[in-house]
Amino acid sequence: MNKILACLITLIFAGGTLNAAASEEQEALDAIQKQYESVKTITARFVQKSYVKTMNQTLEARGKVQIKKPGKMKWVYNAPEPQVLVSNEKILWLYIPDEGQVTKVPVESIYSSNTPALFLAGKGKLTDSFDVIKVSKEKGLITVVLIPKEEDNAVDRLVLVANSKSYQIVGSTVYDKLGNKTEINFSDIRINEKIPESTFQFEVPEGVELLDYTSKK
């Protein structure tokens, strides 16, 4: 599950009003915030690149994501191995066909109060947990660099990238304290298209093992 959760941690659609010293930076951040607030659903293709320091290797995965605020997400990994992750406001399902296994866990056990994935799903506020240390513009993109306000074992630094014209987040990178890095970039982004509620429901395929952690204390 680590690869999927790492992906969720990297994907952030800024959730609070960000503060920056320079007026130009503040204007850019305000525009990103305004764009975020107008987004109710997102459908996009993604490419995820995860650098694992202990292996000195970069692993690449790609697929499609659908998000519906608040708290609903579906990730379908097509390569290099099929995986499906479905999350509603209470339950998260992870299905790995090649292993014939589905894992079912409470969302609250995965997302702590300062987990960036909460912002992606339309919950939480980015500035409750992170400080903005740099905002820059280059080649049609706005890059925002953030660090946790409190000690965080999972996140050392976050970098968000937005289109400088539409202010839509198009990618992000998370760095951890062990030297690992996970980068994700979006393409074919579609905003506020209708996504059926059934998209975020999951039925365990026949013959597949279910690991259910929702009833365990």
Top-confidence residue, 210 or 7? 210
Query: How confident is the model at residue 70, as a pLDDT?
Result: 82
Residue 186 lies in a domain: yes
Residue 115 lies in a domain: yes
Residue 56 lies in a domain: yes
Residue 207 lies in a domain: yes
Top-confidence residue, 151 or 110? 151
Top-confidence residue, 101 or 31? 101
Residue 58 lies in a domain: yes
State what percent of residues in the chain have pLDDT above 90: 38
129: Cβ–Cβ under 8 A, 6 or more apart, which residues?
Answer: 113, 114, 116, 148, 149, 150, 152
Name all contacts of 126-132 with Cβ < 8 Å and 24+ positions apart. 126/12, 126/14, 126/15, 126/16, 126/18, 127/16, 127/17, 127/18, 127/19, 128/16, 130/158, 132/18, 132/19, 132/20, 132/25, 132/29
Question: Distance between CA atoms of 118 and 127, rounded to whole angstroms?
Answer: 12
Residues 45-55 pLDDT 10s: 999 898 989 99
Q: Kindly report the CATH number assigned to the domain that includes residue 201.
A: 2.50.20.10
Residue 216 lies in a domain: no
Question: Distance between CA atoms of 205 and 97, rounded to whole angstroms?
Answer: 9
Residues 111-131 pLDDT 10s: 544 455 555 666 555 666 778
Q: Which domain holds residue 23?
A: 2-211
Residue 217 lies in a domain: no
Residues 55-64 pLDDT 10s: 999 999 999 9
Query: ω before 80 within 30° of 0 (cis)?
Result: yes
Has residue 1 got a pLDDT over 70? no
Query: How confident is the model at residue 109, as a pLDDT?
Result: 67
Query: How confident is the model at residue 198, as a pLDDT?
Result: 95
Residue 93 lies in a domain: yes
Question: Distance between CA atoms of 181 and 57, rounded to whole angstroms?
Answer: 11
Query: How confident is the model at residue 4, as a pLDDT?
Result: 44
How many structural domains are present in the chain?
A: 1
Q: What is the mean pLDDT of residues 9-27?
A: 49
